[in-house]
């Protein structure tokens, strides 16, 4: 099976999650006006998506492992297609938020299913160029999501950000059915006992634990929902109790405990995304509130944070092939540290050229970190659990983004100032420095062995 054929089969599906998580930003105000609600209520279109995606990504990965990734991939796209076709007809904000949750569920299918297809169809592992193309699709869709969303809302109104998904998903379904192989599910996955073997109690405990934690984090900046913390602790305790006693756990805690490289990948992915989203979320607020820049100018200045990494992907692919993940991640961490330290020099009277150079510097590490971590995850994950491992990998990304949103909300709670931006930059630099030390040690231990 040719890797390019597989990439073409999953490409449209894999960009949907990142695209829809960022495209909504410029539609919140017109949606709030349409339904006569405040922005605080409309913001649940973002929070609900984050919460559902964080919880559902590993679940969708488990379904891909159990029932076959091609089948689950197509089912997820079909759910997105139907949901987005009907969402503009929502009679009230509550129904529209529910549609965003369903959208998150459907788009959460693609990445873990794609990794499961790669693992099954390419036993020797996909070439780094295939992983790079998937990473580039995610980065590009996140980068251009606000631009695309702004254009659609300005031209056709807020329903367009839903309806644009319909032709994309229809094309994605056709490509998947034509290009993706019929990968068999895990042995004994089918049959009348399939649902029992899904470990439904474990799934429920996982949803309770992670949902409670994420829900609490999302509430911190405004009014903390303290009752969610004991709920999360109870869910976590139930998850550990259940998963250590069942034969086919939803989250194989023993495997994770024994697989330190995989745990390290998840932790590092969360940390990298804390730094990324601190700049991607914090800078636009500072540009508009402190400097008084227009939304259009702020968007252009921030675009390189997510976009430059796409242009650097071919170079990083060659570096990864020759020197391995350790070297790539070390370079990425050092570049992230340099960009974070540079942000300490940003002022309200700084010229656009300086700010643009800083956002380019902050965007460059994304190619190194995204591809290096994705390759590390693929290498460390067990073959029969690649779907759920890929889902947990994406979940760690959302945890990082949510933590970053909490920090930005707390720092800018009362006033958006240069001092607040510099505090955010200091947090970014501290996390980046830790990542640089960890990756340098890892690369030295591995002797910068080629990734193969």
Provide the pLDDT for residue 127.
61
* CB hemisphere CA count around 389 (13 angstroms): 25
Output the CA–CA distances (angstroms, integers) from residue 371 to 57, 243, 312, 329, 375, in the order listed: 19, 31, 11, 9, 6
Q: How far apart are CA 442 and CA 328, in angstroms?
A: 11
Which of 3.30.1330.50, 3.40.50.300, 1.20.1250.20, 3.90.180.10 is the CATH number of 258-446? 1.20.1250.20
Here the tokens at position 423 are 């505090």
Q: Which of 209, 275, 211, 269 is nearest to 240 (CA)?
A: 209
Here the tokens at position 270 are 């969360």
Q: Give the residues of the chain that fall short of pLDDT 70.
A: 1, 39-40, 123-129, 183-197, 221, 295-296, 446-452
Q: 332 and 307 in contact (C-beta within 8 Å)?
A: no
Fold match flag (1-184 vs 258-446): yes
CATH of domain 1-184: 1.20.1250.20
Residues 133-186 have pLDDT tens digits of 777 777 777 777 777 887 888 888 899 999 999 999 999 999 999 988 886 665
Q: How far apart are CA 204 and CA 242, in angstroms?
A: 10
Provide the pLDDT for residue 190.
46
CA pseudo-torsion sign 63, 65, 71, 73:
positive
Q: What is the pTM of this model?
A: 0.79
| Domain boundaries, given as residue ranges, for the chain | 1-184, 200-247, 258-446
């Amino acid at each position: 099976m040719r890797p390019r054929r597989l990439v073409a089969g999953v490409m449209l599906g894999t960009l949907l999650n990142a695209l829809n998580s960022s495209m909504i930003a410029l539609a919140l105000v017109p949606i709030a006006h349409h339904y006569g609600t405040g922005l605080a209520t409309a913001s649940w279109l973002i929070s609900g998506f984050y919460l559902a995606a964080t919880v559902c990504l590993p679940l969708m990965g488990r379904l891909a492992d159990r029932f076959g990734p091609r089948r689950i991939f197509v089912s997820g796209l079909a759910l997105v297609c139907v949901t987005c076709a009907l969402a503009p007809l929502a009679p009230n904000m509550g129904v529209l938020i529910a549609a965003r949750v369903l959208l998150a569920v459907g788009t959460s299918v693609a990445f873990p299913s794609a990794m499961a297809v790669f693992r099954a169809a390419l036993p020797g592992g996909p070439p780094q160029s295939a992983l790079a193309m998937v990473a580039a699709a995610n980065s590009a869709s996140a980068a251009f999501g606000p631009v695309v969303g702004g254009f659609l809302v300005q031209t056709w109104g807020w329903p367009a950000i839903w309806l644009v998904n319909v032709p994309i998903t229809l094309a994605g379904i056709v490509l998947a059915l034509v290009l993706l192989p019929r990968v068999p599910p895990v042995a004994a996955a089918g049959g009348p006992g399939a649902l029992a073997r899904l470990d439904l109690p474990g799934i429920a405990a996982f949803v309770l634990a992670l949902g409670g934690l994420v829900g609490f984090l999302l509430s911190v900046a405004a009014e903390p929902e303290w009752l969610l913390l004991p709920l999360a602790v109870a869910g976590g305790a139930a998850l550990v109790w259940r998963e250590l006693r069942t034969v086919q756990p939803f989250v194989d805690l023993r495997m994770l405990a024994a697989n330190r490289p995989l745990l390290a990948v998840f932790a590092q992915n969360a940390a990298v995304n804390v730094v990324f989203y601190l700049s991607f979320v914090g800078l636009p607020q500072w540009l508009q509130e402190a400097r008084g820049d227009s939304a259009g100018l702020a968007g252009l200045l921030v675009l390189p944070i997510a976009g430059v990494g796409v242009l650097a992907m071919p170079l990083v692919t060659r570096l990864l092939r020759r020197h391995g993940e350790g070297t790539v991640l070390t370079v990425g961490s050092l570049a992230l540290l340099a960009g974070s330290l540079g942000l300490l020099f940003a002022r309200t009277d700084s010229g656009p050229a300086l700010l643009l150079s800083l956002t380019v510097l902050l965007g460059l590490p994304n190619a190194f970190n995204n591809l290096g971590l994705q390759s590390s995850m693929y290498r460390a994950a067990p073959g029969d659990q690649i779907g759920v491992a890929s889902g947990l990998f994406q979940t760690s990304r959302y945890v990082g983004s949510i933590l970053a949103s909490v920090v930005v909300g707390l720092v800018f709670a009362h006033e958006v100032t240069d001092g607040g931006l510099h505090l955010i930059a200091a947090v970014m630099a501290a996390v980046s420095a830790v990542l640089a030390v960890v990756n340098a040690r890892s690369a030295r231990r591995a002797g910068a062995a080629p990734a193969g």
